[in-house]
Structure 1
Amino acid sequence: MSDETLNGAAAPVDAAGPAFTVEKIYAKDVSFEAPGAPAVFNEAAQPQLQMNLNQSVQRLNDNAFEVVLGVTLTCTAGEKTLYVAEVKQAGVFGLLGFDAATLDAMLGTHCPGVLYPYARQLISELIQSGGFPPFFLQPINFDALYAEGLRQRSSQQLGEGGGLADAEAAGNA
């Protein structure tokens, strides 16, 4: 990718060190459901929100990766689902000259950090367009999430050599 044009700017051909570029940001999948509308607009119960985050990475070529950040927000009141908003915000990122550990960290922290504001905005717009009060997702510390993921992977690898108790402990961490 070093000789291609990315977002109207030429990528560094002979960069002195590692290079990171944002090539494309796009909404890959968007969904909003309000299964009980319009009756749910009259619910008096205190709504409960549950957020689920996930991420996937796909290598497109030697230096380009698609990162997809999935955000699902489910709002319930008692046993009723008021709404479910789901966004898969994606981006194509150029990463050149990083060692394996740094590349993994960039894909696990920096790329989702770039995508999250777009996903947060889209979720907020979906909820408001669905007739519900605005909801603003709070900032997320992707560095801490990545560190926790590394810790869990390390525990699972250690548990694979141990007995059943070690494996169960790693799975529940």
Structure 2
Amino acid sequence: MAEINASSEKQFAIQKIYTKDISFETPNAPKIFTQKWEPALDLNLGTHVQPIENSMYEVSLTLTVTVKIADSTAYLVEVNQSGIFSIAGFSEQEMGPMLGSFCPNVLFPYAREVISDLVNKGGFPQLILAPVNFDALYMQHLQQAQAQQEPEAKTLN
């Protein structure tokens, strides 16, 4: 168990990290292996937070990677990497970034490793995903949520 104490009141602990779901598909095998390897990669990611009890949260990071050659899908891999985190003593304003940015940032290297292993075992060249700026993604999510609320507020007036 890893712990980080920001102060005597604030507590953060990783209770468990685990792979919750895995999917790997090569819909165009074996023909795809005979084509020139000039892949186009599409990466989608999402997070989900589920309160468990008291100060315990399950945070899930889902990464979906689709690699195509021309119009043919070479492979599609999806990993749901999850963790159970104990988080206490943080204000409501601090909890958003903790759950929406910090925890996914902890989970990402594990998901990246699972994806790399699956792609390699699927017979394809190594795939190493670039780091993700979860702080920027979280801020973007907040801005989008605020932009969606503003038109609703105008409609109600």
TM norm structure 2: 0.92
Deviations 1:52-86 (A, max 9, x none): 00000000012000000000000011221110011
Stretches of 4+ moved more than 3 A in 1? none
The 3-state SS of whatever aligns with 2:119 is helix
Name the CA distance, whole Å, in 1 between partners of 2:70 and 2:103: 36
Q: Which moved more, 1:149-158 or 1:44-53?
A: 44-53
Pick from 155, 160, 163 the counterpart of residue 152 of structure 2: 160
State the Cα distance separating 1:45 from its structure 2 match.
Answer: 6.0
- Structure 1: runs of 5+ lacking an equivalent: 1-6, 164-173
Q: Aligned residue pairs: how many? A: 153
Aligned-pair Cα RMSD in Å: 1.7
Correspondence for 1:75:
67
1:30 aligned residue:
22
1:63 pairs with 2:63: no
Structure 2 residues not aligned, in runs of 5+: none
Shift of 1:36: 1.1
Distance 1:116 1:45, change over 3 A: closer
Q: Report the counterpart of residue 108 of structure 2 in structure 1.
A: 116
| Partner deviation per Cα, 1:75-110 (whole Å, 9 max, x = no partner) | 011221110011000000000111111011100111
TM-score under structure 1 length normalisation:
0.84
Which of the numbers 18, 25, 31 marks the counterpart of 2:10?
Answer: 18
Q: Does 1:51 align with 2:43?
A: yes
Instruction: State which structure, 1 or 2, has the greater radius of gyration over its C-alpha atoms.
Output: 1
